[in-house]
Amino acid sequence: MKAEAETVIAVSKNKYNVNKIREDFPILKKKVHDKNLVYLDNAATTQKPTYVIDKVNKYYTTMNANIHRGVHALSQEATEAFEAARIQIKQFINALGKNQIIFTRGTTEAINLVASSYGRANIKEGDEIIISHMEHHSNIVPWQLLCKEKNAKLRVIPVNDNGELIYEEFEKMVNERTKFISIVYVSNSLGTINPIKELISYAHQFNIPVLVDAAQAVNHIRVDVQDLDCDFLAFSGHKIYGPTGIGALYGKVELLESMPPYMGGGDMISKVTFEETTYNELPHKFEAGTPDIAGAIGLGAAIEYVNKVGIENIKEHEHSLLEYATKQIAEVPGLKIIGTAKEKTSVLSFVLENIHPHDIGTFLDFEGVAIRTGHHCTQPLMQRFKIPATSRASFAMYNTKEEVDVLVYGLKKIIEVFG
């Protein structure tokens, strides 16, 4: 096992050393079909640095115990490590208090929590909920379920041909019936960065709460919940170099306090009798049952790692990769980029004339290149662009221009083979 100090810090005085960063991610040395792995499926999930793997390993090898309830040393150690991870998250997104950070299984569970708890308690017949045309299914279906149950209406902000929200349409859509807005910060299919702050500020003029799906934002750009003034924010650990099955929901205290529990069980209670139960304080009220303790510790470590590299450095590196890739890929005959927003990060979606994305994905796999092909859990967006699917290359802190060259070489080869 490498010493902790050795596993990080690949940025020295304005010099971003991507090769040093790559050394921290053991999987990147893997060969696929006898080729070097070129991992460009980061919007689906990111790879994990040794720093995170070691922390999870260390938890299981030296401190595994259930948290919060034990008086013994091991339980206290595990509780401390778990709660330290909550503080890492709080600081990372600049929340005021650690009681505003609720551990969930990921973005999907966080959105479902708000739709079920806040939504059921507050949305009534005839109310309207606004989402956008570029939402991930996990920010569509929970609201659709709620609207069905309550006889409320789901309204959708349209997207222009570049893959940007048509902001004027959003403003026109807001009325006295609008009771909630749930919106993606960065689109996983297009890479578009939405004008979230402006949208929240407009919504707040009418006292409408806003949830931000930050699944594709926290790993690419600085997210500050106080600056955004969002009411809720959700993200997943596995997209920010942390483990799968863990994520977080941020919420404003007054909203979280007013909401009924999402799930019942151990840890979320204060006192239980058969007649009545009183609930634990925040954040525990929303954390029923034994959580993914190792996952939370791993997520805390991932955030530490990101902090050490620096989110601004990551953003800059990924931006230069995206610019380079956009330029290089334009040389591929018959290729059309889907998603050409002015404000964009880390995602390059495209279609190739007469070649199905699945064939592209399979062909590239034999070159060692992992990209994602399909609808990316955004079927309505695919319908909007009148395409069944796209091929999507998505970048992370450890990708290189040389890897982009391998992708472009592969694409040119596909054109030759498929004519």
Active site residues: 377
Q: What is the C-alpha to C-alpha distance for residues 339 and 163, in angstroms, rounded to an integer?
A: 5
Tell me which H or E stretch contains 180: strand 178-184
Residues 364, 368, 373, 376: what is their CA dihedral angle, to the nearest 10 degrees? -160
Q: What is the C-alpha to C-alpha distance for residues 318 and 157, in angstroms, rounded to an integer?
A: 28
236 binds ligand PMP (CB under 6 A): yes
Coil/strand/helix, residue 41: strand
41 binds ligand PMP (CB under 6 A): no
108 binds ligand PMP (CB under 6 A): yes
Instruction: Determine the distance from the C-alpha atom of residue 16 to the mean position of all C-alpha atoms in its chain, rounded to a whole number.
Output: 24
Between 236 and 280, name the residue whose CB sits nearer to ligand PMP.
236
Among 216, 219, 280, 346, binds ligand PMP (CB under 6 A): 216
Numbers of helices and strands, H then E, in the chain: 16, 19
- Helices 311-329 and 401-418: angle between axes, nearest 10 degrees: 30
Look-up: residue for tokens 């994520």? Answer: 247
For the bound state, the minimum distance from the C-beta of residue 236 to ligand PMP, rounded and expressed in Å, comes to: 3
Query: Taking CB under 6 A as the criterion, which residues in 374-413 touch ligand PMP?
Result: 377
Q: How far is CA 349 from CA 204, 257, 324, 328, 339, in A?
A: 33, 41, 14, 14, 7
Looking at 55-63, 102-110, 319-327, 358-366, which segment touches ligand PMP (CB under 6 A)? 102-110
373 binds ligand PMP (CB under 6 A): no
Q: What is the C-alpha to C-alpha distance for residues 294 and 237, in angstroms, rounded to an integer?
A: 12
Looking at 74-82, 132-140, 277-285, 399-407, which segment touches ligand PMP (CB under 6 A)? 132-140
For the bound state, the minimum distance from the C-beta of residue 107 to ligand PMP, rounded and expressed in Å, comes to: 4
* Residue span 332-371 as binding mask against ligand PMP, x where in contact by CB under 6 A, dash where not: ----------------------------------------
191 binds ligand PMP (CB under 6 A): no
Looking at 63-71, 136-144, 294-302, 331-339, which segment touches ligand PMP (CB under 6 A)? 136-144
Among 210, 215, 282, 364, binds ligand PMP (CB under 6 A): 215
Coil/strand/helix, residue 254: helix
Between 22 and 372, name the residue whose CB sits nearer to ligand PMP.
372
- Partnered with residue 248 across adjacent β-strands are 103, 235
For the bound state, the minimum distance from the C-beta of residue 113 to ligand PMP, rounded and expressed in Å, comes to: 12
Look-up: residue for tokens 């009545």? Answer: 276
138 binds ligand PMP (CB under 6 A): yes
Q: How far is CA 14 from CA 233, 307, 308, in A?
A: 31, 15, 13
107 binds ligand PMP (CB under 6 A): yes
Looking at 53-61, 103-111, 264-272, 350-358, which segment touches ligand PMP (CB under 6 A)? 103-111
Amino acid at 11: V
For the bound state, the minimum distance from the C-beta of residue 340 to ligand PMP, rounded and expressed in Å, comes to: 19
Amino acid at 140: I
Residues that bind ligand PMP (CB under 6 A): 106-108, 136, 138-139, 184, 188, 213, 215-216, 236, 377
